[in-house]
Structure 1
Protein backbone atom coordinates (compact mmCIF):
# COMPACT_ATOMS: atom_id res chain seq x y z
CA UNK A 1 0.00 0.00 0.00
CA UNK A 2 1.50 3.30 -1.11
CA UNK A 3 0.88 5.14 2.14
CA UNK A 4 3.21 2.87 4.10
CA UNK A 5 6.23 3.52 1.93
CA UNK A 6 8.45 6.21 3.43
CA UNK A 7 9.37 9.20 1.34
CA UNK A 8 12.63 10.52 2.81
CA UNK A 9 14.39 12.52 0.15
CA UNK A 10 18.06 13.10 -0.34
CA UNK A 11 19.20 10.70 2.37
CA UNK A 12 22.56 8.97 2.37
CA UNK A 13 22.71 5.20 1.99
CA UNK A 14 22.15 4.84 5.75
CA UNK A 15 18.39 4.35 5.36
CA UNK A 16 16.98 0.82 5.58
CA UNK A 17 13.58 -0.64 6.37
CA UNK A 18 11.95 -4.02 6.87
CA UNK A 19 8.42 -5.30 7.52
CA UNK A 20 7.51 -5.36 11.19
CA UNK A 21 5.99 -8.25 13.09
CA UNK A 22 3.21 -5.77 13.87
CA UNK A 23 0.70 -6.11 11.05
CA UNK A 24 1.07 -3.46 8.36
CA UNK A 25 3.94 -1.65 10.10
CA UNK A 26 7.51 -1.02 8.95
CA UNK A 27 10.68 -0.86 11.06
CA UNK A 28 13.28 1.55 9.72
CA UNK A 29 16.69 2.98 10.56
CA UNK A 30 18.33 6.09 9.22
CA UNK A 31 21.39 8.26 9.65
CA UNK A 32 20.53 11.20 7.37
CA UNK A 33 23.22 13.34 5.85
CA UNK A 34 23.47 17.00 6.82
CA UNK A 35 21.06 19.01 4.72
CA UNK A 36 18.76 16.03 4.13
CA UNK A 37 15.64 16.85 2.15
CA UNK A 38 12.19 16.89 3.73
CA UNK A 39 10.10 13.88 4.70
CA UNK A 40 6.92 13.80 2.61
CA UNK A 41 3.38 13.15 3.84
CA UNK A 42 2.54 9.44 3.62
CA UNK A 43 -0.62 8.97 5.69
CA UNK A 44 1.31 7.31 8.52
CA UNK A 45 2.44 8.01 12.07
CA UNK A 46 5.76 6.85 13.55
CA UNK A 47 7.14 5.89 16.93
CA UNK A 48 10.73 7.23 16.99
CA UNK A 49 13.92 6.75 18.99
CA UNK A 50 16.97 8.94 18.54
CA UNK A 51 19.94 9.24 20.87
CA UNK A 52 18.01 8.52 24.05
CA UNK A 53 14.75 10.23 23.08
CA UNK A 54 11.38 8.63 22.40
CA UNK A 55 9.04 10.65 20.21
CA UNK A 56 5.96 10.35 18.05
CA UNK A 57 5.74 11.77 14.55
CA UNK A 58 2.18 12.80 13.87
CA UNK A 59 0.50 12.71 10.46
CA UNK A 60 1.89 15.31 8.08
CA UNK A 61 -0.08 17.53 5.74
CA UNK A 62 3.09 19.05 4.31
CA UNK A 63 6.74 18.15 3.92
CA UNK A 64 8.63 17.96 7.23
CA UNK A 65 12.14 19.43 7.45
CA UNK A 66 14.32 17.03 9.51
CA UNK A 67 16.88 19.75 10.25
CA UNK A 68 20.58 19.98 9.52
CA UNK A 69 22.02 17.98 12.43
CA UNK A 70 22.86 14.37 11.50
CA UNK A 71 21.62 11.87 14.08
CA UNK A 72 20.82 8.19 14.28
CA UNK A 73 17.10 7.50 14.04
CA UNK A 74 15.09 4.33 14.31
CA UNK A 75 11.36 4.14 13.90
CA UNK A 76 8.25 2.04 13.63
CA UNK A 77 5.94 3.37 10.94
CA UNK A 78 2.36 2.28 11.62
CA UNK A 79 -0.15 1.43 8.94
CA UNK A 80 -2.36 4.48 8.30
CA UNK A 81 -5.08 4.86 10.91
CA UNK A 82 -3.72 2.30 13.40
CA UNK A 83 -1.45 4.43 15.60
CA UNK A 84 -4.11 6.37 17.57
CA UNK A 85 -5.41 3.20 19.22
CA UNK A 86 -1.86 2.33 20.32
CA UNK A 87 -0.92 5.81 21.46
CA UNK A 88 -4.23 6.63 23.13
CA UNK A 89 -4.71 9.99 21.42
CA UNK A 90 -6.69 11.04 18.33
CA UNK A 91 -4.45 11.58 15.32
CA UNK A 92 -5.63 15.15 14.72
CA UNK A 93 -4.07 16.21 18.03
CA UNK A 94 -0.64 15.29 16.61
CA UNK A 95 -1.10 16.60 13.08
CA UNK A 96 2.12 18.16 11.70
CA UNK A 97 3.83 17.69 15.07
CA UNK A 98 6.73 15.75 16.62
CA UNK A 99 6.08 15.24 20.34
CA UNK A 100 7.84 13.51 23.21
CA UNK A 101 6.26 10.17 24.05
CA UNK A 102 6.30 11.25 27.70
CA UNK A 103 3.73 13.91 26.76
CA UNK A 104 1.33 11.08 25.85
CA UNK A 105 2.24 8.25 28.24
CA UNK A 106 3.21 8.26 31.94
CA UNK A 107 6.74 9.59 32.35
CA UNK A 108 7.85 6.61 34.48
CA UNK A 109 6.74 4.15 31.79
CA UNK A 110 8.57 6.09 29.10
CA UNK A 111 11.76 6.26 31.19
CA UNK A 112 11.70 2.50 31.62
CA UNK A 113 11.12 1.87 27.94
CA UNK A 114 13.75 4.38 26.92
CA UNK A 115 16.28 2.72 29.21
CA UNK A 116 15.65 -0.65 27.60
CA UNK A 117 16.08 0.73 24.10
CA UNK A 118 19.18 2.74 25.02
CA UNK A 119 20.81 -0.42 26.39
CA UNK A 120 19.74 -2.73 23.56
CA UNK A 121 22.30 -3.91 21.00
CA UNK A 122 19.65 -3.34 18.32
CA UNK A 123 17.52 -0.27 19.15
CA UNK A 124 15.26 -0.89 16.16
CA UNK A 125 14.33 -4.36 17.39
CA UNK A 126 13.83 -3.00 20.91
CA UNK A 127 11.57 -0.23 19.63
CA UNK A 128 9.57 -2.79 17.68
CA UNK A 129 9.07 -4.75 20.91
CA UNK A 130 7.61 -1.61 22.49
CA UNK A 131 5.15 -1.30 19.62
CA UNK A 132 4.20 -4.98 19.87
CA UNK A 133 3.74 -4.73 23.65
CA UNK A 134 1.53 -1.68 23.29
CA UNK A 135 -0.53 -3.26 20.50
CA UNK A 136 -1.20 -6.28 22.73
CA UNK A 137 -2.38 -3.99 25.55
CA UNK A 138 -4.43 -1.52 23.51
CA UNK A 139 -7.88 -1.77 21.99
CA UNK A 140 -7.83 -2.66 18.29
CA UNK A 141 -8.07 0.19 15.77
CA UNK A 142 -11.37 1.12 14.16
CA UNK A 143 -12.05 -1.79 11.75
CA UNK A 144 -13.19 0.66 9.08
CA UNK A 145 -9.81 2.43 8.84
CA UNK A 146 -8.23 -0.14 6.54
CA UNK A 147 -11.29 -0.03 4.28
CA UNK A 148 -11.16 3.76 4.17
CA UNK A 149 -7.49 3.63 3.15
CA UNK A 150 -8.13 0.98 0.51
CA UNK A 151 -11.04 2.88 -1.05
CA UNK A 152 -9.29 6.25 -1.16
CA UNK A 153 -6.00 4.73 -2.33
CA UNK A 154 -7.94 3.15 -5.20
CA UNK A 155 -9.15 6.62 -6.21
CA UNK A 156 -12.73 6.36 -4.94
CA UNK A 157 -14.45 9.73 -4.38
CA UNK A 158 -15.12 10.65 -0.77
CA UNK A 159 -18.91 10.48 -1.15
CA UNK A 160 -18.71 7.06 -2.81
CA UNK A 161 -16.37 5.83 -0.06
CA UNK A 162 -18.82 6.97 2.61
CA UNK A 163 -21.69 5.21 0.81
CA UNK A 164 -19.72 1.97 0.45
CA UNK A 165 -18.94 1.97 4.17
CA UNK A 166 -22.48 2.83 5.23
CA UNK A 167 -21.44 6.21 6.66
CA UNK A 168 -22.55 9.75 6.13
CA UNK A 169 -19.93 12.12 4.74
CA UNK A 170 -19.72 13.93 8.09
CA UNK A 171 -19.27 10.63 9.93
CA UNK A 172 -16.48 9.67 7.54
CA UNK A 173 -14.80 13.02 8.14
CA UNK A 174 -14.94 12.64 11.95
CA UNK A 175 -13.59 9.10 11.86
CA UNK A 176 -10.87 10.11 9.43
CA UNK A 177 -9.72 13.00 11.65
CA UNK A 178 -9.45 10.68 14.63
CA UNK A 179 -7.69 7.90 12.71
CA UNK A 180 -5.54 9.78 10.19
CA UNK A 181 -5.30 13.31 11.55
CA UNK A 182 -7.25 14.98 8.76
CA UNK A 183 -10.31 14.51 6.61
CA UNK A 184 -10.68 11.97 3.80
CA UNK A 185 -9.99 14.53 1.06
CA UNK A 186 -6.56 15.28 2.51
CA UNK A 187 -5.85 11.58 3.03
CA UNK A 188 -6.79 10.93 -0.60
CA UNK A 189 -4.35 13.65 -1.74
CA UNK A 190 -1.54 12.23 0.39
CA UNK A 191 -2.08 8.69 -0.87
CA UNK A 192 -2.27 9.99 -4.44
CA UNK A 193 1.06 11.77 -3.98
CA UNK A 194 2.65 8.45 -3.08
CA UNK A 195 1.09 6.76 -6.12
CA UNK A 196 2.31 9.53 -8.39
CA UNK A 197 5.88 9.25 -7.16
CA UNK A 198 5.87 5.45 -7.45
CA UNK A 199 4.47 5.64 -10.98
CA UNK A 200 6.87 8.35 -12.17
CA UNK A 201 9.89 6.58 -10.68
CA UNK A 202 8.81 3.40 -12.48
CA UNK A 203 9.21 5.28 -15.74
CA UNK A 204 5.55 5.96 -16.54
CA UNK A 205 5.31 9.24 -18.52
CA UNK A 206 3.98 12.12 -16.44
CA UNK A 207 0.95 12.67 -18.67
CA UNK A 208 -0.06 9.04 -18.20
CA UNK A 209 0.76 9.19 -14.50
CA UNK A 210 -1.54 12.21 -14.15
CA UNK A 211 -4.35 10.39 -15.96
CA UNK A 212 -3.98 7.23 -13.87
CA UNK A 213 -4.00 9.26 -10.65
CA UNK A 214 -7.18 11.10 -11.59
CA UNK A 215 -5.75 14.57 -12.30
CA UNK A 216 -7.33 16.76 -14.94
CA UNK A 217 -3.94 17.18 -16.62
CA UNK A 218 -0.22 17.27 -15.95
CA UNK A 219 -0.35 20.88 -14.74
CA UNK A 220 -2.96 19.90 -12.14
CA UNK A 221 -0.67 17.10 -10.97
CA UNK A 222 2.27 19.50 -10.69
CA UNK A 223 0.30 22.01 -8.58
CA UNK A 224 -0.99 19.35 -6.20
CA UNK A 225 2.42 17.74 -5.73
CA UNK A 226 4.06 21.06 -5.05
CA UNK A 227 1.35 21.95 -2.54
CA UNK A 228 2.04 18.82 -0.50
CA UNK A 229 5.79 18.44 -1.03
CA UNK A 230 6.85 22.08 -1.09
CA UNK A 231 8.92 21.54 -4.22
CA UNK A 232 8.35 20.76 -7.90
CA UNK A 233 7.81 17.18 -9.04
CA UNK A 234 10.98 17.27 -11.14
CA UNK A 235 13.05 18.05 -8.04
CA UNK A 236 11.39 15.22 -6.14
CA UNK A 237 12.14 12.75 -8.89
CA UNK A 238 15.76 13.83 -9.00
CA UNK A 239 16.27 13.78 -5.24
CA UNK A 240 17.20 10.13 -4.84
CA UNK A 241 20.78 9.03 -4.75
Structure 2
Protein backbone atom coordinates (compact mmCIF):
# COMPACT_ATOMS: atom_id res chain seq x y z
CA UNK A 1 0.00 0.00 0.00
CA UNK A 2 1.20 3.49 -0.87
CA UNK A 3 0.03 6.60 0.98
CA UNK A 4 1.44 10.10 0.76
CA UNK A 5 0.38 13.74 1.03
CA UNK A 6 0.86 16.80 -1.19
CA UNK A 7 0.86 20.33 0.20
CA UNK A 8 -1.56 22.86 -1.32
CA UNK A 9 -0.39 26.23 -2.70
CA UNK A 10 0.00 29.12 -0.26
CA UNK A 11 -3.38 30.71 -1.08
CA UNK A 12 -5.20 27.52 -0.10
CA UNK A 13 -3.22 26.57 3.01
CA UNK A 14 -5.59 28.40 5.39
CA UNK A 15 -8.41 26.17 4.08
CA UNK A 16 -6.89 22.92 2.75
CA UNK A 17 -4.90 20.91 5.28
CA UNK A 18 -3.36 18.69 2.58
CA UNK A 19 -4.03 16.59 -0.50
CA UNK A 20 -3.59 12.83 -0.10
CA UNK A 21 -3.11 9.78 -2.29
CA UNK A 22 -3.86 6.15 -1.44
CA UNK A 23 -2.92 3.41 -3.90
CA UNK A 24 -2.90 -0.36 -3.55
CA UNK A 25 -2.35 -3.35 -5.83
CA UNK A 26 -4.40 -6.37 -4.82
CA UNK A 27 -2.32 -9.54 -4.77
CA UNK A 28 -3.40 -13.04 -5.84
CA UNK A 29 -4.21 -13.96 -2.22
CA UNK A 30 -6.17 -10.75 -1.63
CA UNK A 31 -9.57 -11.01 -3.39
CA UNK A 32 -10.86 -7.73 -1.95
CA UNK A 33 -9.99 -4.76 0.22
CA UNK A 34 -12.33 -3.20 2.80
CA UNK A 35 -11.83 0.37 3.95
CA UNK A 36 -13.51 1.96 6.96
CA UNK A 37 -13.74 5.74 7.16
CA UNK A 38 -14.16 7.03 10.70
CA UNK A 39 -15.85 10.10 12.18
CA UNK A 40 -13.94 13.28 11.39
CA UNK A 41 -14.37 17.00 11.96
CA UNK A 42 -12.94 17.85 8.55
CA UNK A 43 -14.40 17.48 5.05
CA UNK A 44 -12.90 15.40 2.25
CA UNK A 45 -13.15 15.66 -1.53
CA UNK A 46 -12.47 12.15 -2.86
CA UNK A 47 -11.70 11.07 -6.44
CA UNK A 48 -11.42 7.38 -7.40
CA UNK A 49 -9.14 7.58 -10.45
CA UNK A 50 -8.46 3.85 -10.59
CA UNK A 51 -11.43 1.50 -10.05
CA UNK A 52 -14.09 2.31 -7.45
CA UNK A 53 -15.52 1.13 -4.14
CA UNK A 54 -18.99 -0.03 -3.16
CA UNK A 55 -20.36 1.03 0.20
CA UNK A 56 -21.28 -1.73 2.62
CA UNK A 57 -24.41 -1.05 4.63
CA UNK A 58 -26.23 -3.09 7.26
CA UNK A 59 -29.60 -2.63 5.58
CA UNK A 60 -29.00 -3.14 1.90
CA UNK A 61 -25.66 -4.84 1.39
CA UNK A 62 -23.74 -2.82 -1.18
CA UNK A 63 -24.42 0.61 -2.62
CA UNK A 64 -22.32 2.49 -5.14
CA UNK A 65 -19.59 4.55 -3.48
CA UNK A 66 -18.58 7.01 -6.21
CA UNK A 67 -16.16 9.90 -6.09
CA UNK A 68 -17.63 12.78 -4.13
CA UNK A 69 -17.64 14.97 -1.04
CA UNK A 70 -17.83 13.54 2.47
CA UNK A 71 -18.59 16.41 4.82
CA UNK A 72 -17.61 16.54 8.49
CA UNK A 73 -19.24 13.59 10.18
CA UNK A 74 -19.86 11.79 13.46
CA UNK A 75 -20.41 8.51 11.60
CA UNK A 76 -18.17 5.76 10.26
CA UNK A 77 -18.70 4.08 6.87
CA UNK A 78 -17.40 0.91 5.20
CA UNK A 79 -16.39 0.41 1.57
CA UNK A 80 -15.18 -2.59 -0.43
CA UNK A 81 -13.43 -3.13 -3.76
CA UNK A 82 -12.29 -6.24 -5.63
CA UNK A 83 -9.79 -4.35 -7.79
CA UNK A 84 -6.50 -2.55 -7.36
CA UNK A 85 -7.25 1.10 -6.69
CA UNK A 86 -6.00 4.66 -6.71
CA UNK A 87 -7.65 7.51 -4.77
CA UNK A 88 -6.85 11.21 -4.71
CA UNK A 89 -8.35 13.37 -1.98
CA UNK A 90 -8.36 16.79 -0.38
CA UNK A 91 -8.64 17.13 3.40
CA UNK A 92 -10.17 20.53 4.15
CA UNK A 93 -11.11 22.45 7.27
CA UNK A 94 -14.86 22.53 8.01
CA UNK A 95 -14.93 26.33 7.81
CA UNK A 96 -13.67 26.03 4.22
CA UNK A 97 -17.08 24.65 3.23
CA UNK A 98 -18.77 28.09 3.30
CA UNK A 99 -15.81 29.62 1.45
CA UNK A 100 -15.71 27.03 -1.34
CA UNK A 101 -19.40 26.15 -1.65
CA UNK A 102 -21.26 29.16 -0.23
CA UNK A 103 -23.26 27.03 2.21
CA UNK A 104 -23.06 26.88 6.00
CA UNK A 105 -21.21 23.86 7.36
CA UNK A 106 -24.16 23.21 9.67
CA UNK A 107 -26.24 22.38 6.56
CA UNK A 108 -23.83 19.70 5.33
CA UNK A 109 -22.87 17.72 8.45
CA UNK A 110 -23.14 13.93 8.17
CA UNK A 111 -23.88 14.20 4.46
CA UNK A 112 -22.08 12.88 1.39
CA UNK A 113 -22.74 13.73 -2.25
CA UNK A 114 -21.28 12.83 -5.61
CA UNK A 115 -19.83 15.81 -7.47
CA UNK A 116 -22.58 15.85 -10.08
CA UNK A 117 -25.34 16.09 -7.47
CA UNK A 118 -23.64 18.72 -5.32
CA UNK A 119 -21.92 20.90 -7.92
CA UNK A 120 -23.86 20.11 -11.11
CA UNK A 121 -21.92 20.81 -14.33
CA UNK A 122 -18.95 22.28 -12.48
CA UNK A 123 -18.69 19.05 -10.48
CA UNK A 124 -18.91 16.85 -13.58
CA UNK A 125 -16.19 18.86 -15.32
CA UNK A 126 -13.93 18.81 -12.27
CA UNK A 127 -14.27 15.05 -11.85
CA UNK A 128 -13.49 14.47 -15.53
CA UNK A 129 -10.39 16.66 -15.34
CA UNK A 130 -9.14 14.84 -12.25
CA UNK A 131 -9.74 11.44 -13.86
CA UNK A 132 -7.90 12.39 -17.06
CA UNK A 133 -4.90 13.96 -15.29
CA UNK A 134 -1.63 12.09 -16.01
CA UNK A 135 -0.46 11.98 -12.38
CA UNK A 136 -1.29 13.10 -8.87
CA UNK A 137 0.73 16.30 -8.99
CA UNK A 138 -1.40 17.37 -11.94
CA UNK A 139 -4.52 16.34 -10.00
CA UNK A 140 -3.41 18.57 -7.12
CA UNK A 141 -2.80 21.44 -9.53
CA UNK A 142 -6.20 20.97 -11.18
CA UNK A 143 -8.08 20.86 -7.89
CA UNK A 144 -6.14 23.87 -6.57
CA UNK A 145 -7.15 25.93 -9.60
CA UNK A 146 -10.79 24.95 -9.05
CA UNK A 147 -10.77 25.74 -5.32
CA UNK A 148 -8.93 29.06 -5.70
CA UNK A 149 -11.49 30.22 -8.26
CA UNK A 150 -14.35 29.39 -5.87
CA UNK A 151 -12.52 30.95 -2.93
CA UNK A 152 -12.30 34.26 -4.78
CA UNK A 153 -16.00 34.18 -5.70
CA UNK A 154 -17.55 33.66 -2.27
CA UNK A 155 -17.66 36.07 0.65
CA UNK A 156 -18.71 33.89 3.61
CA UNK A 157 -16.42 35.25 6.35
CA UNK A 158 -16.25 35.37 10.14
CA UNK A 159 -12.60 35.51 11.10
CA UNK A 160 -13.18 35.30 14.87
CA UNK A 161 -15.02 32.00 14.78
CA UNK A 162 -12.61 30.57 12.20
CA UNK A 163 -9.72 31.40 14.53
CA UNK A 164 -11.64 29.71 17.35
CA UNK A 165 -12.14 26.52 15.30
CA UNK A 166 -8.43 26.50 14.44
CA UNK A 167 -7.69 26.84 18.14
CA UNK A 168 -9.85 23.80 18.90
CA UNK A 169 -8.18 21.74 16.14
CA UNK A 170 -4.56 22.74 16.71
CA UNK A 171 -4.45 24.11 20.26
CA UNK A 172 -2.30 22.29 22.78
CA UNK A 173 -4.62 23.11 25.67
CA UNK A 174 -8.34 22.27 25.64
CA UNK A 175 -10.33 25.23 26.93
CA UNK A 176 -13.92 24.95 28.25
CA UNK A 177 -16.55 26.28 25.82
CA UNK A 178 -17.40 29.19 28.14
CA UNK A 179 -13.75 30.24 28.23
CA UNK A 180 -13.43 29.93 24.45
CA UNK A 181 -16.49 32.12 23.97
CA UNK A 182 -15.05 34.73 26.33
CA UNK A 183 -11.68 34.61 24.56
CA UNK A 184 -13.36 35.56 21.29
CA UNK A 185 -15.67 38.16 22.87
CA UNK A 186 -18.88 36.26 22.27
CA UNK A 187 -21.66 35.14 24.57
CA UNK A 188 -21.95 31.38 25.05
CA UNK A 189 -25.08 31.35 22.91
CA UNK A 190 -23.50 33.38 20.08
CA UNK A 191 -20.38 31.24 20.18
CA UNK A 192 -22.35 27.99 19.97
CA UNK A 193 -24.43 29.25 17.03
CA UNK A 194 -21.51 30.65 15.04
CA UNK A 195 -19.28 27.68 15.80
CA UNK A 196 -21.89 25.25 14.50
CA UNK A 197 -22.40 27.39 11.39
CA UNK A 198 -18.73 27.10 10.45
CA UNK A 199 -17.69 23.77 12.00
CA UNK A 200 -20.88 21.81 11.40
CA UNK A 201 -21.35 20.71 14.99
CA UNK A 202 -21.67 22.25 18.44
CA UNK A 203 -18.35 23.06 20.16
CA UNK A 204 -18.82 20.13 22.56
CA UNK A 205 -19.40 17.57 19.79
CA UNK A 206 -16.62 19.01 17.66
CA UNK A 207 -14.15 18.78 20.52
CA UNK A 208 -15.00 15.09 20.83
CA UNK A 209 -14.16 14.60 17.14
CA UNK A 210 -10.86 16.46 17.48
CA UNK A 211 -9.97 14.46 20.59
CA UNK A 212 -10.70 11.23 18.71
CA UNK A 213 -8.45 12.18 15.80
CA UNK A 214 -5.66 13.09 18.22
CA UNK A 215 -6.00 9.64 19.78
CA UNK A 216 -5.97 7.86 16.41
CA UNK A 217 -2.72 9.65 15.50
CA UNK A 218 -1.14 7.56 18.26
CA UNK A 219 -1.82 4.42 16.22
CA UNK A 220 1.78 3.17 16.12
CA UNK A 221 2.71 4.58 19.50
CA UNK A 222 4.26 2.31 22.15
CA UNK A 223 2.03 4.02 24.74
CA UNK A 224 -0.70 2.10 26.51
CA UNK A 225 -4.34 2.84 25.76
CA UNK A 226 -4.63 4.44 29.20
CA UNK A 227 -1.72 6.77 28.43
CA UNK A 228 -3.22 7.71 25.06
CA UNK A 229 -6.60 8.41 26.65
CA UNK A 230 -5.16 10.66 29.36
CA UNK A 231 -2.82 12.55 27.02
CA UNK A 232 -5.68 13.25 24.60
CA UNK A 233 -7.87 14.70 27.31
CA UNK A 234 -10.26 11.87 28.12
CA UNK A 235 -11.46 12.04 31.71
CA UNK A 236 -11.31 8.29 32.17
CA UNK A 237 -11.02 5.01 30.29
CA UNK A 238 -14.79 4.61 29.93
CA UNK A 239 -15.13 7.92 28.02
CA UNK A 240 -12.28 6.87 25.74
CA UNK A 241 -13.86 3.48 25.02
CA UNK A 242 -17.27 5.05 24.41
CA UNK A 243 -16.00 7.62 21.88
CA UNK A 244 -13.75 5.23 19.96
CA UNK A 245 -16.58 2.71 19.65
CA UNK A 246 -19.12 5.37 18.66
CA UNK A 247 -16.90 7.03 16.06
CA UNK A 248 -15.01 4.04 14.57
CA UNK A 249 -17.24 1.05 15.34
CA UNK A 250 -14.40 -0.68 17.20
CA UNK A 251 -13.33 -1.10 20.80
CA UNK A 252 -10.01 0.81 21.15
CA UNK A 253 -8.21 -2.40 22.04
CA UNK A 254 -9.14 -3.84 18.64
CA UNK A 255 -8.69 -0.62 16.67
CA UNK A 256 -5.13 -0.17 17.94
CA UNK A 257 -4.29 -3.87 17.54
CA UNK A 258 -3.47 -3.59 13.84
CA UNK A 259 -6.39 -5.83 12.83
CA UNK A 260 -9.05 -3.18 12.21
CA UNK A 261 -10.29 -2.34 8.71
CA UNK A 262 -8.88 0.70 6.98
CA UNK A 263 -5.93 1.25 9.32
CA UNK A 264 -3.20 0.04 6.96
CA UNK A 265 -2.31 3.55 5.79
CA UNK A 266 -1.61 4.52 9.40
CA UNK A 267 1.20 1.98 9.45
CA UNK A 268 3.06 3.59 6.53
TM-score, with length taken from structure 1: 0.81
CA 1:213–1:54 in 2, change beyond 3 Å: closer, same or farther?
closer
Q: Contact 2:42 / 2:94 at 8 angstroms: preserved in 1?
A: yes
1:203 counterpart = 2:193: no
1:35-85 C-alpha deviation (Å, 9 max, x unpaired): 423112231112222349652111110222234455432111112322222
CA 1:190–1:97 in 2, change beyond 3 Å: closer, same or farther?
same
**Could you tell me how far apart the structure 1 residues matched to 2:95 and 2:210 are?**
13
The alpha carbon displacement at 1:233 in A equals 0.9
What SS does the aligned partner of 2:37 have?
A: coil
What SS does the aligned partner of 1:155 have?
A: coil
Equivalent position of 1:142 in the other structure: 158
**Could you tell me how far apart the structure 2 residues matched to 1:116 and 1:215 are?**
44
Q: Given the alignment, which residue of 187, 192, 195 partners 1:173? A: 192
Higher strand share: 2
1:93-116 C-alpha deviation (Å, 9 max, x unpaired): 2222211233333x3333333333
CA 1:208–1:115 in 2, change beyond 3 Å: closer, same or farther?
closer
Q: Which moved more, 1:194-203 or 1:215-224?
A: 194-203
CA 1:135–1:69 in 2, change beyond 3 Å: closer, same or farther?
farther
**Could you tell me how far apart the structure 1 residues matched to 2:127 and 2:230 are?**
47
The alpha carbon displacement at 1:230 in A equals 1.3
Larger Rg: 2
RMSD over aligned CA atoms reads 2.6
1:156-186 C-alpha deviation (Å, 9 max, x unpaired): 1112111111122222222222212211111
The alpha carbon displacement at 1:215 in A equals 2.1
Equivalent position of 2:91 in the other structure: 77
Q: Contact 1:102 / 1:110 at 8 angstroms: preserved in 2?
A: yes
**Could you tell me how far apart the structure 1 residues matched to 2:13 and 2:111 are?**
24
Equivalent position of 1:30 in the other structure: 22
The alpha carbon displacement at 1:197 in A equals 2.2
**Could you tell me how far apart the structure 2 residues matched to 1:201 and 1:161 are?**
32
Q: Contact 2:98 / 2:156 at 8 angstroms: preserved in 1?
A: no
CA 1:48–1:210 in 2, change beyond 3 Å: closer, same or farther?
closer
1:124-151 C-alpha deviation (Å, 9 max, x unpaired): 3222332232223333643122323314
**Could you tell me how far apart the structure 2 residues matched to 1:84 and 1:101 are?**
16
CA 1:47–1:142 in 2, change beyond 3 Å: closer, same or farther?
farther
1:122 counterpart = 2:110: no
CA 1:84–1:236 in 2, change beyond 3 Å: closer, same or farther?
farther
1:131 counterpart = 2:147: yes
Unaligned runs of 5+ in 2: 27-31, 51-65
- The alignment covers a number of residue pairs equal to 228
